[in-house]
Amino acid sequence: MIEARRISKRFQSTSRGVTAALHEMSISIGDGEFVSLVGPSGCGKTTLLNLVAGLERPDDGEILIDGKRILGPGPDRGVMFQDPALFPWLSVSENVAFGMKELRLPRALREERTRKYLSLVNMSGFAKSWVHELSGGMKQRVALARALALEPKTLLMDEPFGALDPKSRDSLQAELVDIWQKTGKTILFVTHDMAEAVRLGSRVIVLRARPARVACDVDVAALLPQPRHVDHPEVVELAAHLKGALDETGEREAIDGDGDGSERPETHLAGGAGGRGVAHWLGLHL
Which span sits near another protein by CB under 8 A: 18-26, 73-81, 243-251, 274-282?
Answer: 73-81
CB nearer to another protein: pick between 14 and 270: 14
- Overall residue count recorded for the chain in this entry: 286
11 is an interface residue for another protein by CB under 8 A: no
- The residue from 16, 69, 132, 167 that contacts another protein (CB under 8 A) is 132
55 is an interface residue for another protein by CB under 8 A: yes
130 is an interface residue for another protein by CB under 8 A: yes
Neighbours of 85 (CB within 10 A): 12
Q: Which residues touch 173 (CB under 8 Å, ≥6 apart)? A: 161, 196, 199, 200, 230
Smallest distance, another protein to C-beta of residue 194, A: 26
CB nearer to another protein: pick between 61 and 75: 75
Which span sits near another protein by CB under 8 A: 85-93, 191-199, 227-235, 276-284?
Answer: 85-93
Phi, psi of 266 (to 5 degrees): -70, -5
Contact 169, 195 (CB under 8 A): no
Contact letters for another protein, residues 138-177 (x by CB under 8 A): --------x---x---------------------------
CB nearer to another protein: pick between 81 and 161: 81
Smallest distance, another protein to C-beta of residue 149, A: 9
- The residue from 22, 43, 48, 53 that contacts another protein (CB under 8 A) is 53
| Chain positions contacting another protein, by CB under 8 A | 53-55, 72-75, 77-79, 81, 83, 85, 87-89, 98-99, 102-103, 130-132, 146, 150
